[in-house]
Structure 1
């Protein structure tokens, strides 16, 4: 066993070192050019351009994302509801298609809430707090109602499911009503999200570190990324420890 460990390490080490070297060289090149760009005053030009774009987009961001994405979500929900109403109780493919439509609708609601928070923050920065607060709350209200409709339809398709989106413990109640296969799928999806999130945090750390030479925004954005990354790593490790203890006790 120890020979296999050493052999695997020897096989993987050259590729690992080469990757680190290439990324180091790339970072050095990008750092050089960003330093030149900062000295040439590019940062201020880009900052002013972004300010102008965001100041124009912020008033319409919440409305636009709600109309487009929530509109598509309601369309998918309605299509799934029609499939369920016409279901003969035997065609499982029809219900699989309906559940796929509901999953896509839920994805759209998740994107809307992220965009809502972004544009609401932009509205505060660009002095549009009160009007955009009303739009923000209206968008969130429509979003929550759509999520409630999706969950209710999912429960009608699968009567064993439990939970209401208005319950603060909805996620736990829903998870408890899932069977082993569904829990395994959720676990795989969460692990995939964790791995992608880790890679995104590394990319953002590198990008922010390099861009700091141009925009000089300090450590706060970098610290925010590392806080998210650290929370992910810590929770993942602690949960693995907790689950391994529970398995051992069983």
Structure 2
């Protein structure tokens, strides 16, 4: 029975791999035909897009900073409101309050991440030698843009520290110095078993998701290099990310298994 199940699993896997190869071939053929007819239009669009982003470089970064600050302060205010209810919450309300605390904390983390990615995207479009050397105005714009870029990351770092301090005030058992390289480890050690279970499950789901996402990104970067001549650096970076992800996960599994054997 077990052998039969293994055979069926191998057949299903082989069929899925075959379908994936067929899909990849069809997708590649579609892109080939598409680029044959619209390659010039796409190059013109990308050139126009880059110039448009460069024209709004400073205002765009300024807007990202303002929206990031407003959204961050709003989330922190909501968190303070929720945390004020934790001490007086009854058993039935405690779960809801904990959920709201987790939700607004997650929103705050996402706001920080989105603002950082937008800043990197905007700055990357203007941070080019040709653009900087084309005029003194562009050189000044880059200096201002770099200042706004640093300001955004500085605010996000301060906001992160305020968020951690708020949680440590409400939950005195939570330990960890945010300036320490071992902060995550210290924080995890101070969590109870239920919190650790949530962290472990979320981390594993993230690993599974990222394994698939990086595979897709590798395909995207390879197609981009083929059709838009973006260079191999993007492919190399994504490939290294995949190696680091799988390598770190595999080493952690082996290390944890070894520690369990030594403790027993």
Q: Same fold (TM over 0.5)?
A: yes
Q: CA deviation at 1:94?
A: 5.8
The 5 Å alignment of 1:117-156 reads 117-125=120-128, 126-127=131-132, 128-156=141-169
- Does the 8 Å CA contact 2:62/2:148 hold for their aligned counterparts? yes
Match of 2:33 among 28, 33, 36: 36
Q: Distance in 2 between matches of 1:103 and 1:212?
A: 35
Q: 2:75·2:105 contact (CA, 8 Å) conserved in 1?
A: yes
Between 224-233 and 45-54, report the one with greater CA deviation. Answer: 45-54
Q: Distance in 1 between matches of 2:107 and 2:80?
A: 14
Q: 2:5 aligns with which of 3, 8, 28?
A: 8
Instruction: Report how many aligned residue pairs link the two structures.
Output: 247
Deviation of the 1:227 alpha carbon: 0.7
Q: Please tell me whether residue 105 in structure 1 is matched to residue 105 in structure 2.
A: no
User: Which position in structure 1 is the counterpart of 2:71?
Assistant: 72
Considering only aligned residues, what root-mean-square deviation do their CA atoms show, in Å?
Answer: 2.4
Describe the shift of the 1:59–1:7 C-alpha distance in structure 2 as closer, same or farther (beyond 3 A): farther
Task: Say if 2:82 and 2:97, in contact at 8 Å, map to a contact too.
Answer: yes
Paired residues of 1:120 and 1:133 also in contact (CA < 8 A): yes
Deviations 1:174-221 (A, max 9, x none): 122122222222111111111111111111122233333321334322
Runs (4+) of structure 1 exceeding 6 A deviation are none
Decide whether aligned partners of structure 1 residues 189 and 62 sit closer, same or farther in structure 2, where only a CA change above 3 A counts: farther
Structure 1 unmatched runs, 5+: none
Query: Which of these residues, 185, 199, 204, is aligned with residue 217 of structure 2?
Result: 204
In 2, the alpha carbon distance for the partners of 1:192 and 1:230 equals 18
Deviation readout 1:41-78 (Å, 9 max, x if unpaired): 33422432332343245334433333334422211210
Residue 17 of structure 2 is aligned to residue 20 of structure 1: yes
Instruction: Map 1:49-64 to 2 at 5 A.
Output: 49-64=48-63
Q: TM-score scaled by structure 2?
A: 0.82
Q: For 1:62 and 1:8, how far apart are their aligned partners in 2?
A: 56
User: Which residue of the partner structure matches residue 176 of structure 2?
Assistant: 163
